Structure 1
Amino acid sequence: MAPYHIRKYQEIHRQWVLGLFSQGMIEHVPTTFRHILKLPQTLVLLLGGPLALFLVSGSWLLALMAGLALLAALRFLAKYPWTEYVANSLHTDMRDITKSYFSDSGSCFWVAECEGQVVGTVGALPVKEPTLRKPQLELLHLSVSSEHRGQGIAKALVRTVLQFARDQDYSEVVLGTSSLQHSALALYQNMGFQKTGQYFNSMINRLIAVHIVQLTYRFPSAQVSQAPGQRGDL
């Protein structure tokens, strides 16, 4: 296993980061497609639609073509939330990573490098909500290339965010992830994040029954107030 190093993002990393981010999102399309196919309403549509068309037209070929068209539409539906998220990110915080994540000391973006290549990413931005009683840091864009998973890189990137949050005196680290990202959910919960809610972030996600799960890591007050030399236990 080749060694990896975590360091702060620089503009020379941009193309690596955007490619890794986009590819990581598209990887979830097959899982989403399988999830949609298992939904009761999907089964009714796939079986009942072509059957009804056959009964009306008497043509098995027409019914088969209708079934294939429905599958193609469902495949597009499975892909849409992920491509939309990528497009939205590329027009907001990922459009200018340096500006978004290094304009103030309370945010940051890191990459994991292995043999001169970016193999992992994670970002952190303060939650700007006037009603918040405790300062929160949001973990964003955790991604590791498929060839380098299982090496502890994702866990190390999350630990980097948690240590940064401690050093910046944040009370909580929060994030949202899809209910279909089972390995990510397991990672966060094994590291001490707790589920604090779930919601649909779009009509498409409501239609295909995919929640955004909210997770929170809360720092005990004793840990937050520790001296810097005592903060290496994560």
Structure 2
Amino acid sequence: MVDYRIREYRDEDYEAVREMFATGMSEYVPALCVHVLKQPWVILVLSCTFCLLLTSSKSLLLPVLAVTLLLATGQQLLGCAWATYIKRCLQGDLLDIRATYMSRAGSRFWVAEAEECVVGTVAARPSDDQEGELMLKRLSVRKDYRGLGIAKALCQVVLSFAQQQGCSSVVLNTLMVQDEARLIYERLGFEKYRAEVLPTVYGRLANVTVSKYRYGIPRRR
């Protein structure tokens, strides 16, 4: 069992936090590729390409090579699109963590530290949708420190913070490939109240679904 502690973000954590976020999000590329491959229109395109080339060339090698090339190109494009998303996050709220989370009322950023290294992160800020609602963001745990309860402990810090702030609920968003994260949230008592496809061309083509979860904060007596 590894000893760890959760504390508020400090400026010297900046590079470690950004690197861990980028590395953690990059892990979802294979799952994203599998998700896209299951889409009916992708299966149709690959099947039609294979059958047309097989019929016209009378050879098995050409259609196999063509489909392999399409798969490799698709994986490369998905990887680039995901890298763009990661870059956008790093240039957004994670560009100036102190200004975004530590210098604004009702916002906070925490890290989990073990063996003098940052091994987990979580953040909270007021929701844009409803007053009195707190949004949980940037939950991430380094791969070699998962399964130790760190993610659960980080979430509980946010829930405690929300209660201290007098918030009515905590909300969060997850993507369809974040299965482990959804299990953690559901075990903590978060309930899914909405699921929607990203309103972009890429989101609709790849059927990128965002699930929204809410946790109701018990009122203090």
Within a 5 Å distance, the mapping from 1:29-40 to structure 2 comes to 29-40=29-40
Query: In structure 1, how many angstroms separate the alpha carbons of the residues matched to 2:35 and 2:100?
Result: 34
- CA offsets per residue over residues 130-175 of structure 1, 9 Å max, x none? xx3x411111110001100000000000000011111111111111
The C-alpha deviation readout for 1:38-87, integer Å capped at 9, x for no partner, is: 33332222222132134334554443332122101321344345323211
Task: Look up the SS of the partner of 1:170 in the other structure.
Answer: coil
Q: Does 1:204 align with 2:202?
A: yes
- TM-score, with normalisation over the residues of structure 1? 0.87
Structure 1 counterpart of 2:66: 66
SS of residue in 2 equivalent to 1:163: helix
Residue 159 of structure 2 contacts residue 217 of structure 2 at CA under 8 Å; is this kept in 1? no
Deviates more, 1:76-85 or 1:6-15: 76-85
Q: Deviations over 1:81-140 (max 9, x none)?
A: 5323211111110010011001223000010010011110011111134xx3x4111111
Once superposed, what is the RMSD of the aligned Cα atoms? Answer: 1.7
Counterpart of 1:27 in structure 2 is 27
* Aligned-pair CA distance for 1:181: 1.2
Count the aligned residue pairs: 220
Equivalent position amino acid for 2:74 in 1: L
Could you tell me which runs of 5 or more consecutive residues in structure 1 were left unpaired when the two chains were aligned.
227-234
How far apart are the structure 1 equivalents of 2:28 and 2:97? 23
| Counterpart mapping for 1:119-158 below 5 A | 119-129=119-129, 132=130, 134-158=131-155
Which residue matches 2:192?
A: 195
Aligned to 1:214: 212
SS at match of 1:183: helix
Instruction: Kindly indicate whether the alpha-carbon contact (under 8 Å) linking 1:36 and 1:78 is maintained by their aligned counterparts in 2.
Output: no
Instruction: Name segments (4+ residues, structure 1) moved above 4 Å.
Output: 57-61
Instruction: Tell me the residue number matched to 1:172.
Output: 169
Aligned to 1:99: 99
The answer for unaligned runs of 5 or more in structure 2 is none
